Structure 1
Amino acid sequence: MKKTIIAFAALIIAASCSKKESTDTVHITGNIKGLKKGTLYIQRIVDTNLVAIDSIKIDGNSAFESTIKLESPEMLYLFLDRGVTNSLDNNILFFAEPGNMTINTDLDNFISSAKITGSKNQELYEQYEKINSRFIDENLSMVEPRFKAIKRQDQKALDSLNVKQESNIKRKYLYATNFALTNKDYEIAPYIAMSQIYDINVKFLDTIQKSMSPKVAKSLYGKKLTKYVADIKKEQQKAETAPATTANE
């Protein structure tokens, strides 16, 4: 009987440890078709710098595996050091979250061919990027007409392009705001607010911040957004009181 109780207690402890591990780590597996030799680095942003948190040597076998500790869902980077050639197509951005994730791609089209599964935040991020890319493409389509208008000193055409660009920016910001509010229960919401529309009127950021679920508010990006909004409000209050202080002096 005593042995049974001990065994049962050990089982509970093991299950508890397993549960804890699954809630604060992400297990990443994947394959890079065509890669024979090189080094993969998993990176995160620390104080605006990309810092490697794991490295995987590839030598013959294109499959890879890594386990990363996460305090909460976080945007990470899968960087490929090809060893012999430099390429701009070498860094995959992915929204990691605790659990099991898979990243499959190929050497020739490292970023564009990437298929990432196992993360709801990643799924939402891809949905966001699909629409957001349209705003980026529209903005790029105005570069050549603007250049030509400047060259021929056509102010009327420039004014028209400026109106179109401002409209495109407004639609982009409105979409990002609505996307964040719609997905307030996921960490993608504060991430979008901080990375895409950080310079929007603070009232919109404040609305997103207040709409976050308790879980999201305690996450990495939730905390950053809360602090960011508080800092902006503090600076605005200083600016509002500064003239009155100067007048009294």
Structure 2
Amino acid sequence: MSKKIILLALICISLACCNEDKKENSNLHLTGNIEGLSQGKLYIQQVQDSSLVVLDSIMIKGDSKFDSYLNIESPEMLYLFLDRGQTNSIDNNLPFFAEPGEMHIETTLNSFFADAKITGSKNHDLYVEFTKMRSKFNEKSMDLVEKELENLKIKNKNNIDSISSEANKLTRKKYLYVANFASLHGDKEIAPFLALSEIADINIRYLDTIDSKMNPEVAKSKYGKMLKSYIEERKKSETKE
């Protein structure tokens, strides 16, 4: 047997052992299918210290199906990035609220973001529900921006003031919706996540309410601990002012 064959065999054994170790040490099995993708690279990313860090990379060669074994501290937002060899855009990056267990992502190459259907995570189901309402708020906000620009052109101050007042009311309504949504779902990690990502600058009493609604498991999660720490820092900062 030649040295090359022996070396190749050792590499295969080593890779097989690594894969088995990865499975044994994982608490999340992610499977998926990207219809239309025959060749490319996928990255599963996690936010660490405000930067995206790669947890796993997957080569696609001929088969559009993929799977990955991951270990996460607690349910959290991860990102499935598709390397198209082009500039990063919203249709290259797919956020999904990961939970330990079995999860599945089904989407297409042509509409990677829009066609995505993600199953296996109660947190992600709630995130989808939330984003639908957030889209409605964003659409209303864009309508107001367009109206404001039109009135700026004709210098109609009365209308501009009215639109500005309406925009402020819409923002308050959106913040209250997020705070209420998070408070209602204190048994899921999406509650502290939304508090931190969507309404971090809201009146501190609303954050306190969300914090008080979290169950013990959520309070000990990654986002639960981050929210508690953030509230403490804000209170210290506001006391000094």
| TM-score with structure 1 setting the length | 0.85
Structure 1 residues 24 and 183: CA distance shift in structure 2, 3 A:
farther
Residue of structure 2 in register with 1:7 after alignment: none
Residue 132 of structure 1, CA deviation: 1.3
Q: Does the Cα contact within 8 Å between 1:102 and 1:117 map onto a contact in 2? A: yes
Structure 1 residues 230 and 134: CA distance shift in structure 2, 3 A:
same
How far, CA to CA, are the matches of 1:192 and 1:22 in structure 2? 32
Structure 1 residues 235 and 143: CA distance shift in structure 2, 3 A:
same
How far, CA to CA, are the matches of 2:211 and 2:89 in structure 1? 38
| Count of residues paired in the alignment | 219
Counterpart residue type for residue 179 of structure 1: F
Residue of structure 2 in register with 1:11 after alignment: none
Q: Does the Cα contact within 8 Å between 2:90 and 2:113 map onto a contact in 1? A: no
Match of 1:32 among 31, 34, 54: 34
SS in 2 for 1:128: helix
Counterpart residue type for residue 141 of structure 1: D
Could you give the per-residue CA deviations for residues 35-65 of structure 1, whole angstroms, max 9, x where no partner exists?
Answer: 1111000001111111111000011110010
Q: Does the Cα contact within 8 Å between 1:191 and 1:221 map onto a contact in 2? A: yes
Residue correspondence of structure 1 range 98-247 to structure 2 within 5 A: 98-239=100-241
Residue of structure 1 in register with 2:82 after alignment: 80
The answer to whether the aligner puts 1:92 opposite 2:94 as a matched pair is yes
How far, CA to CA, are the matches of 2:61 and 2:128 in structure 1? 31
How far, CA to CA, are the matches of 1:203 and 1:117 in structure 2? 34
How big is the alpha-carbon RMSD for the aligned residues of Structure 1 and Structure 2?
Answer: 1.6
Q: Which has the larger radius of gyration?
A: 1
Counterpart residue type for residue 185 of structure 1: D
| TM-score with structure 2 setting the length | 0.87
How far, CA to CA, are the matches of 1:154 and 1:221 in structure 2? 45
How far, CA to CA, are the matches of 1:99 and 1:105 in structure 2? 20
Q: Does the Cα contact within 8 Å between 1:194 and 1:225 map onto a contact in 2? A: yes
Could you give the per-residue CA deviations for residues 81-122 of structure 1, whole angstroms, max 9, x where no partner exists?
Answer: 013676541000000010000000000100000000000000
- Segments of 5+ residues of structure 1 without an aligned counterpart are 1-20, 240-249
Residue of structure 1 in register with 2:12 after alignment: none
Residue 24 of structure 1, CA deviation: 6.1
